[in-house]
Amino acid sequence: MGLLDRGGARLTSRPEEAEILVVNTCSFIDTAKQESVDTILEMARYKTEGQAKKLIVAGCLVERYRDEIRKSIPEVDAVVGTGELESILDAAGIARTAVLAPSPFNILSGSAHTHVRTGQESLSGTHKSDLKGTGFSPYESVPTIQEGGLAPDISFRPEGDHRERQGRFSREDWQGATHLLPTYLYNEDTPRLISTGRTSAYIKIAEGCDHPCTFCVIPNLRGKFRSRRFESVVAEAQRLVASGVQEVTLIGQDTTCYGEDLGLKDGLAQLLDTLAGIEGLRWLRFLYAYPNRITGRLLETIATHDNICKYLDVPLQHAAPDVLKRMKRGAGAEIFLKTVEKVRAAVPGIALRTSFIVGFPGESLRDFEVLEEFITEAKFDWLGVFNYSDEEGSKAHALDSKLPRRTIEARKRRLMKLQQKISRKAKQQWVGRELVLLAEGESSETELLWEGRTQFHAPEIDGKVYINDFGDLRSLESGRFYKAAITEAHDYDVVARITSRAL
Ligand code: SF4
């Protein structure tokens, strides 16, 4: 988006207005692939029946089905994989030299929820009517557009090289996928367009993954783990904060490995320590943690800084040791309970989020019960459940004892019901507390309510805080922080009354 904007394209979220349609895709599980394909087909109609002249497909689906997409959907004019971001310019017919200009972030104007559809989305076009790229340039640097997308100082971990020799990243079974793994990493000078409002921004600190999880094809799609340079991340965060961003969420497939390829020990903790010192940064968080990489130093860092959100998302995937062994993740309920205990002791009041996969091949009823017992005991604040998706190219694809779909569905429902009970009880404890929240605008459900988030809610993932009383204030401003008293609790969401502006 940043490259296109810098190249002179004007973005619109209305596909009927666009001359160029870009569908950014996902393909790590079946439902994501289906959603991506449906969106491409939907956008193709704007080309055949509307005024769109070009259809570009970008992202992970391209890494997986590069040739297939071109063959099966002739309306597609170009594909852009995750390792060749700059070729979006060629695909759109914009000269690469057109983006060689000072490099501010452009933040899309509008509410915290902009009109740009994220995920599998259509964007880009020629009209500036609803999304004004309000350019402002607090710094004077020249973007480095890397030919071939390879950062000059990119490095990998020995684990990554080792796993590559073992075939971890192989795409041999994937017809139409290029054999070249992506190596791209953006840097602080890469143009960006922030689509998450003026207050919040994501920063990707690392790309790829070296873990051997047998159900997962993300490493095959995104390549070996590689960290962005420490200084690059810090520079980007400083600039974002200087331009008004107050919440930064660091992301990566595994942020807890950050810096290992750069020779840093406790790299994430060091990075958080430095970023927490940026004046004006109110909330800092990271997604996602790998369970055995949650170090004492990391927890101490979270506990020490007021502006590091007391929030940890650690996907555990399962709790039965047998299943975890076959997932090639190891550990089990007993070890995980100790981890949960350690985290809560080090950072009192921390909100814990996790996710599980149900229906992994060979998951017995007993395995499932072990998971239920673990969830009952651990009492996570937030929990997601995914159905096992049998992905070609994953090691689990070759396993026997696949479970019937209806068993998987039934198990998922059971877990969600269990978590609903746990969550309902936990949310009751919130009533009477005064918390700082970020107002996010009118509720999508009713204009009588506003929505907000506390430090215990990551953007767009967890429950909501509904605001039904503005207190002494006549109105609220989206993207601003307020103090609020929690007055009611529901299963996952709570209701709040604003008490004052947060300083
Ligand atoms: S750590 Fe996450 S991204 Fe990496 S292989 Fe495992 S599930 Fe996939």
Write down the pLDDT at residue 102.
Answer: 55
The H or E element that residue 412 is part of is helix 405-428
Centroid of ligand 1 to alpha carbon of 211 (angstroms): 6
Centroid of ligand 1 to alpha carbon of 490 (angstroms): 33
Write down the pLDDT at residue 442.
Answer: 95
Where do we find the tokens 């017992």?
Answer: 373
Write down the pLDDT at residue 319.
Answer: 98
What is the best residue among 207, 210, 215, 253 to mutate for testing ligand 1's pocket, by most ligand atoms within 8 Å of CB? 253
Residue nearest to atom 8 of ligand 1 (CA): 216
Write down the pLDDT at residue 121.
Answer: 38
What backbone phi and psi angles, to 5 degrees, belong to 85?
-55, -40
Q: How far apart are CA 479 and CA 197, in angstroms?
A: 7
Centroid of ligand 1 to alpha carbon of 209 (angstroms): 6
Q: Helix crossing, 296-304 with 333-346: angle to 10°?
A: 30
Rounded to 10 degrees, the C-alpha dihedral 412/382/316/121 comes to 80
Q: How far apart are CA 182 and CA 202, in angstroms?
A: 21
Q: How far apart are CA 503 and CA 282, in angstroms?
A: 10
pTM for this structure? 0.90
Q: How far apart are CA 289 and CA 2, in angstroms?
A: 28
Where do we find the tokens 């406790």?
Answer: 266
Where do we find the tokens 């609790």?
Answer: 489
Centroid of ligand 1 to alpha carbon of 212 (angstroms): 7
Where do we find the tokens 């995980």?
Answer: 336
pLDDT mean by block of 10 residues, the chain; 503 residues:
92 94 95 96 94 95 92 95 91 84 56 34 34 29 38 78 92 78 90 92 96 95 95 96 97 96 96 98 97 97 98 98 97 97 98 98 98 98 97 93 97 98 97 97 91 97 96 96 98 97 92
Which alpha helices (DSSP H) does 57-182 contain, by range? 60-72, 87-92, 158-165
Residues with a CB atom less than 6 Å from ligand 1 = 209, 211, 213, 216, 218-219, 253-254, 290
Residue nearest to atom 1 of ligand 1 (CA): 211
3-class state of residue 306 by DSSP: coil
Residue nearest to atom 6 of ligand 1 (CA): 213
Where do we find the tokens 């973005």?
Answer: 11
Question: What DSSP designation does 10 have?
Answer: B
Cα radius of gyration rounded to whole Å, the chain: 23
What is the best residue among 168, 213, 318 to mutate for testing ligand 1's pocket, by most ligand atoms within 8 Å of CB? 213
Residue nearest to atom 2 of ligand 1 (CA): 253
Write down the pLDDT at residue 107.
Answer: 62
Where do we find the tokens 């569908």?
Answer: 23
Q: How far apart are CA 356 and CA 167, in angstroms?
A: 26
